[in-house]
């Protein structure tokens, strides 16, 4: 459509240029009887070529301008139709990271005291905490609602899959919570077990829980920086206790491959307090 509009505009300006050319040619013929007329003819010829170039440029700009005005509304609608919209507008898409915690007395979604995969230190109810208001909160995005967790739908979607979480103790507690959530939809609780028969502790680098009736596993690998640590170079400052190889993934990274879902968590470790006061950074060739 843009091409057809541009062609019509170009034809209109070309027609105008031709009429101007014929008119100027007739005028130039009337001056052929004298030397002054010859000089005038040369001037008119140069002027004609200049007008022709200017006319072609104007025709191109007009064609592109008309095409832009014709096509842009459709282009804008296509963007909005695909889910991309401006922020702070009535059609803003759901941003799950922009919101706040709101009270919801239908929570919690599971009883931590009945879940065998909750670490003892994080089991507040089992440790004697009396109040339960801290359990009655859920995350509410600003412009939308997150659907309530449907354990049966999630279990079916994870059937035959492998989910891997990599990070620190925060990742481990999220891993525990996900397992406890999913266990509420499993009838035979004994069909859910840690693959190596280990208890959940912070000292173990690898933990994996298998949901045998759904043929999937949820695994956790402790790797707070995600990269390899190394020895301190000879000339390093005394405050450097260890180094990080930014060009090398953690030596357990081969265990992460072939996962269907891979979730990393390392952000809170990359701050000045943990990096420059405690750790040294080892770059290639240092």
Kindly report, residue by residue over 93-128, the tens digit of the pLDDT.
Answer: 889 999 999 999 999 999 988 899 998 888 888 889
Co-location of 175 and 276 in the same domain = yes
| Residue 139 domain-assigned (yes or no) | no
Classify residue 187: in a domain, yes or no: yes
What is residue 73's predicted lDDT score, i.e. its pLDDT?
39
Q: Which domain holds residue 175?
A: 148-282
Query: If 0-12 CB within 10 Å is exposed, 13-18 middle and 19+ buried, where does residue 43 land?
Result: exposed
Q: How does DSSP assign 230-283, residue by residue? A: EPPPTTS-TT---EEEEEEE-TTGGGTTT-SEEEE--GGGSSHHHHTTT-EEE-
Judge whether 133 lies within some domain: no
Helix (H) or strand (E) holding 103: strand 99-103
Q: What is the mean pLDDT of the chain?
A: 75
Q: CA–CA distance from 50 to each of 53, 55, 176, 214, 227 (Å)?
A: 5, 8, 78, 79, 66
Residues 169, 249: one domain? yes
Q: What is the pLDDT, as a whole number, of residue 101?
A: 96
- Residue 51: predicted pLDDT: 52
Q: What is the pLDDT of residue 242?
A: 79
Please tell me the predicted confidence (pLDDT) of residue 215.
97
In a domain, 107, yes or no: no
pLDDT of residue 62: 53
Residues 174 and 58 in one domain: no
97 domain-assigned:
no
Picking from 81, 96, 115, the residue at the C-terminal end of a domain is 81
Q: Which residue has the tokens 């909160």?
A: 137
Q: Count how many domains the chain has.
A: 2
Of 42, 63, 81, which residue sits at a domain end? 81
In this predicted structure, what is the pLDDT of residue 75? 33
Check whether 67 has a pLDDT greater than 50: no
Best CA proximity match to 256, nearest among 225, 220, 282: 220
Do 155 and 274 lie in a common domain? yes
Q: How far apart are alpha carbons 13 and 2 in whole angstroms?
A: 17
Same domain, 52 and 154: no
Residues 75 and 152 in one domain: no
Report whether pLDDT(149) > 90: yes
Residue finishing a domain among 42, 64, 81: 81
Mean pLDDT, to the nearest integer, of 29-43?
46
Q: Tell whether 75 and 162 lie within a shared domain.
A: no
List alpha helices for 82-206, DSSP H: 151-157, 169-183
Residue 77 clears pLDDT 60, i.e. is over it: no
Q: Is 252 contained in some domain?
A: yes
Asked if 154 and 235 sit in the same domain, the reply is yes
Same domain, 157 and 50: no
Higher confidence at residue 232 or residue 185? 185
Q: Is residue 141 part of a domain?
A: no
Q: Do 263 and 181 reside in the same domain of the chain?
A: yes
Tell whether 112 is covered by a domain.
no
Q: pTM for the whole thing?
A: 0.62
Share of the chain above pLDDT 70, in %: 64
Whether residue 9 is predicted with pLDDT greater than 70 in this model: the reply is: no
Task: State both tokens at 90.
Answer: 């009535």
20 is written with which tokens? Answer: 């101007």
Residue pLDDT, tens place only, 199-243: 888 788 999 999 999 999 999 999 999 998 888 888 888 777 778
pLDDT at position 46 is: 57
Instruction: Specify the pLDDT at position 70.
Output: 39
pLDDT tens digits for range 261-270: 999 999 888 8
User: Does the pLDDT of residue 176 top 80, yes or no?
Assistant: yes
Taking residues 74-98, what's their average pLDDT?
Answer: 50
Looking at the structure, do residues 159 and 263 belong to the same domain, yes or no?
Answer: yes
* pLDDT tens per residue across span 125-138: 888 999 999 999 99
């Amino acid at each position: 459509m843009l091409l057809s509009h541009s062609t019509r505009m170009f034809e209109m300006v070309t027609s105008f240029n031709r009429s101007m050319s014929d008119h100027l040619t007739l005028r130039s013929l009337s001056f052929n009887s004298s030397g002054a007329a010859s000089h005038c003819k040369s001037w008119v010829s140069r002027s004609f070529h200049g007008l022709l170039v200017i006319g072609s440029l104007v025709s191109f700009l007009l064609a592109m301008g008309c095409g832009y005005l014709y096509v842009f509304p459709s282009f804008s609608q296509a963007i909005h139709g695909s889910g991309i919209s401006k922020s702070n507008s009535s059609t803003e898409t759901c941003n799950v990271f922009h919101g706040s915690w709101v009270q919801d007395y239908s929570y919690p979604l599971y009883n931590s005291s009945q879940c065998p995969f909750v670490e003892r230190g994080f089991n507040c109810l089992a440790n004697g905490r009396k109040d339960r208001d801290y359990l009655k909160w859920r995350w509410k995005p600003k412009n939308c609602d997150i659907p309530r967790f449907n354990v049966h739908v999630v279990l079916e979607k994870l059937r035959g899959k492998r989910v891997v979480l990599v990070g620190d103790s925060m990742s481990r507690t999220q891993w525990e919570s996900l397992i406890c959530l999913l266990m509420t939809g499993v009838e035979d609780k004994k069909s859910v077990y840690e693959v190596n028969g280990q208890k959940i502790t912070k000292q173990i680098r690898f933990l994996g829980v298998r949901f045998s009736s759904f043929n999937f596993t949820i695994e956790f690998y402790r790797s707070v920086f995600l990269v390899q640590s190394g020895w301190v170079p000879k000339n390093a400052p005394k405050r450097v206790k260890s180094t990080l190889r930014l060009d090398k993934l953690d030596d357990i990274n081969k265990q992460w491959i072939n996962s269907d879902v891979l979730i990393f968590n390392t952000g809170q470790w990359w701050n000045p307090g943990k990096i420059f006061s405690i750790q040294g950074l080892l770059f290639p060739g240092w």
